Amino acid sequence: MYRVSPFVRRFGFALLAGMALATIWVNLAPASYYDALEWRLYDLTLPHWLAPMPVSITPKLIVSHGMMPFFVAFVGKELWEALILERGAMAGPRAFAPMAGILGGAIGAILLWLMASALMGTGEDLGFGMGWQVPVGGDVVLAYVMARAVFGAGHPALHVSLLLAIGLDILGLILTGLTDPAASLRLAWLALPVVAMITIWRLVARDPGPQAGEARRRRMRALWPHAVAGFVSWFGVVASGLPPALGLLPIVAVIPHADRSFGLFAEAEALLHDPLNQLAHYLVKPIAVVLFCFGLTRGGIDFAAFETTTLVVLASLWIGKPLGLCLGLVLAFWLFGARLHAGLRLREVALVALIAGMGFTVPALTLESALPGGIVTEAARLGLALSLLMGPLALGLSRIWGRK
């Protein structure tokens, strides 16, 4: 089995370092921490047809709106290649089992959120049906760090864990954008990403065939047209009211790519020089900075914020998502004859489901859209941080089962 590139582990360490620094800061000097996050660098007044409300440029907004789209596009590239390339993990009939697991995990997390919030109550600020988007997403990089410790560097379960985490992350962002009650959706702006995609496809990305000249082939290898199209796509997504983190995803689908997939974040991809992999190579170091900044701006954990919402988050991630994921896979296996990977045993599927119960990066990105703010949001953030303890639990269970 192929090996995952070590830079993914460095992403995890960068994110954890930012979270650790933010947590120390928010517990020692909370006022200065929140003031720094919301420091108004510039007030931007745009035409009403473009942005109904004035926009204040703050450090937190720069990270979430301007930097995180690169991370989401980076992981989205892996999902796209898994779908369309030869031997991709979700190519053709192989897509059925992972899709069933992704949908099952999302449905399980949502149902547990609704049931737990109804049974335990979450205060007047959080009415029934609010916040269910939070536990849908997961955490690609931290789940990878723990899955590697559980399964080893080249185990097929590691790659299944990555695939499910990426799918849940993107689904969580899409659901948040489409159901955010405070968002003013102006979906006509999505014409811009569509135009950018068509333009890049026709002028640059489309296979010119054997008769094309060298100038056309050089133009296909150029990266700047994709950068321009990426900006146009991001602008259209932001103006539409959808999460800006999704802004670069449409362009990923039309950038020329390799003919075969070596697997998710495969180490062998460092040897590929197609435009899609070249862009990914250039983004490796900047994305480590992006994740550190994200941990710094979204990862400050207030330990005094424990409330009922914390328990609702944990129930959704620790119980709802793993059970839903397993049920989705079981239905795919038994009812439709789907296959996930020939080398996986039932206990390894269970460990993959438990690791999926770790959720921080994308859920933290959706908190302010899904929740009303204040103590409810901070209590949910504490729950997300505590959910990471599922990783050590999965590691302990793997050692116990290994001895048996």
What is the structure's pLDDT at 31? 93
Residue 249 lies in a domain: no
Q: Which residue matches tokens 């038994």?
A: 334
Please state, in angstroms and rounded to a whole number, the distance separating the CA atoms of residues 170 and 178: 13
- Helix, strand, or coil here: 4? strand
If one counts every other C-beta atom within 10 angstroms of the C-beta of residue 237, the result is: 24
Residue 246 lies in a domain: no
| Helix, strand, coil tally for the chain in percent (to 5) | 70, 0, 30
Question: Where does 241-320 have alpha helices with state H?
Answer: 249-252, 275-298, 308-315
Please state, in angstroms and rounded to a whole number, the distance separating the CA atoms of residues 59 and 40: 8
CB-based contact 243:65 (threshold 8 Å): no
Binning pLDDT at 50, 70 and 90, where does residue 123 land? low
Q: Give residue-wise pLDDT tens across range 349-381.
A: 899 999 999 999 999 999 988 888 788 899 999
Helix (H), strand (E) at residue 394: helix 390-403
Residue 116 lies in a domain: yes
CB-based contact 169:75 (threshold 8 Å): yes
The phi, psi pair for 381, rounded to 5°, reads: -65, -40
Residue 160 lies in a domain: yes
Please state, in angstroms and rounded to a whole number, the distance separating the CA atoms of residues 307 and 51: 35
Residue that wins the pLDDT comparison between 260 and 251: 251
Once rounded to an integer, what is the mean pLDDT over residues 288-315? 94
Q: Which residue matches tokens 């009415």?
A: 127
Domain of residue 294 covers 7-181+266-403
Residue 347 lies in a domain: yes
Q: 40-49, 228-237, 302-311: which has the minimum mean pLDDT?
A: 40-49
Please state, in angstroms and rounded to a whole number, the distance separating the CA atoms of residues 124 and 146: 37
What is the structure's pLDDT at 232? 95
CB-based contact 256:275 (threshold 8 Å): yes
Once rounded to an integer, what is the mean pLDDT over residues 320-349? 82
**303: CB partners within 8 A, 6+ apart:** 27, 382
Pull the structure tokens for residue 333. 């296996």
Pull the structure tokens for residue 82. 């898994």
Residue that wins the pLDDT comparison between 263 and 137: 137
- Helix, strand, or coil here: 64? helix
Once rounded to an integer, what is the mean pLDDT over residues 145-173? 88
Residue 255 lies in a domain: no
Q: Residue 336 belongs to a domain with what CATH number?
A: 1.20.1530.10
Nearest to 360 by CA among 381, 375, 379, 377: 381
CA atoms within 13 A on the CB side of 65: 17
CA atoms within 13 A on the CB side of 337: 1
**What DSSP character marks residue 201?**
I
Give exposure, 214-234, as e/b (b: 16+ Cβ within 10 Å).
Answer: eeeeeebeeeebbeebbebbb
Q: How many domains does the chain divide into?
A: 1
Give exposure, 352-390, as e/b (b: 16+ Cβ within 10 Å).
Answer: bbbbbbbbbbbbbbbbebbbbeebbbbbbbbbbbbbbeb
Residue 98 lies in a domain: yes
Q: Give residue-wise pLDDT tens across range 81-105.
A: 888 877 777 777 778 888 999 999 9
What is the structure's pLDDT at 358? 94
123: alpha, beta or left? (left if phi > 0; alpha if psi -120 to 50): left
